[in-house]
Amino acid sequence: MQYRYRPQGVCSTEIIIDIENDIIQDLKVIGGCHGNLQGIAALVKGMNINDVIAKVKGIDCRGRGTSCPDQIAQALEKHKQSRTAQLV
């Protein structure tokens, strides 16, 4: 399942995550620090979404109160919330 998220407070403009059975199959971040985000995408590929949230949630970039990794965690949390809402 592909999930799209519009990050806020960071340089990136869109996060696209392919998730299957709570495992990240692919991650693309549009905008932001391209090399760093490619590295993050490679590292989280194959990981459980809960593990990724635990590792990157709350990371700050230059005093913004958020960062691209934090926005990835927020996107994953929103995905979990939307999935839970569909089950109710």
Owner of token pair 């985000």? 37
Domain ranges (residues) in the chain:
2-87
pLDDT per residue as tens, the chain (88 positions)? 999 999 999 999 999 999 999 999 999 999 999 999 999 999 999 999 999 999 999 999 999 999 999 999 999 999 999 877 776 6
Looking at the domain covering 2-87, what would its CATH class be? alpha beta
Tokens of 23: 């495992």
CA 17 to chain centre: 7
- Calculate the alpha carbon distances from 61 to 40, 47, 83 in Å: 15, 23, 29
Helix crossing, 34-44 with 68-87: angle to 10°? 40
* pLDDT attached to residue 88: 63
| CA-based radius of gyration for the chain | 12
